[in-house]
Amino acid sequence: MHATARIPFTLKNLPFQVLRTIVSSESILQLLVYAAAASPPSLLPVIKSPLQNTNMVSQVHAVLLMLSLSLLVFSQSFLPANAAKNFVPDVCRETISYAGCMHALQSDLRAKTASNFMELAKIALELGLNNAIGSKVYIDGLLEKNHAAPIKKCSFWYEAVVGSFRSALTESGEDALTANYDVKIAGDDAASCENELASGGVKVPSISTRNNDVALYSNIGDVITNKL
């Protein structure tokens, strides 16, 4: 009868299910038992026999150290990191533009580490508010050079946009329903600006782009405040 060849014991030889069980339970004992079964006879006494001298103790310590270090390395590979959940993709999937939403929220490094929807809501509303303030300043700058009535009306509507985002930000921690209403109104106000441009026969692509930005931030705010 031919002797069955033994496969040298390494963690690479462990079936994935066994390794996952060992790593998830963080049990050195299970790993040692499996090592004993898969090891050559010369190693078995180290694991299965009583310790009889200092040399044997040293060998056991070496084995335990090797297995402990290997377990640590593999735990990093097979187990998910204990990082906080990233809420951004979940929110963006419900918006009018996933790509636009991801780009907007990820412009603030705090968004990725927000621990709940409330934190993310405040970040998104702050982004919307800052964007609206910047657009208001831009439109007022245009108005100094171009006194067209539609642009003047857009300045008025952007005052409302800023007010709506600011109110939504304030209310987000007190009254989610009111915050949701206010942030949707911000989008309506920007749409009113776009309508003024269209009805007046004035084309200002830079303002229209800003109206689209408000529509996105308003929609993001709507989605998040609905989760509060």
Domain annotation covers residue 216: yes
Q: Which of 45, 78, 111 is the last residue of a domain?
A: 78
Q: Which domain holds residue 24?
A: 11-78
Within this chain, do residues 53 and 150 fall inside the same structural domain, yes or no?
no
> What's the CA gap between 206 and 183, in Å, rounded?
22
Within this chain, do residues 93 and 136 fall inside the same structural domain, yes or no?
yes
Give pairs for 96-103: CB < 8 Å, separation 24+. 96/215, 96/216, 96/219, 97/216, 100/216, 101/216, 101/219, 101/220
> What's the CA gap between 18 and 200, in Å, rounded?
72
> What's the CA gap between 207 and 184, in Å, rounded?
19
Residue-level pLDDT, tens digit, the chain, 228 residues = 555 555 454 544 545 444 444 444 444 445 444 444 444 444 444 444 454 545 554 665 565 556 655 555 554 544 444 456 899 999 999 999 999 999 999 999 999 999 999 999 999 999 999 999 999 999 999 999 999 999 999 999 999 999 999 999 999 999 999 999 999 999 999 999 999 999 999 999 999 999 999 999 999 999 999 999
Domain annotation covers residue 83: no
Total tally of structural domains belonging to the chain? 2
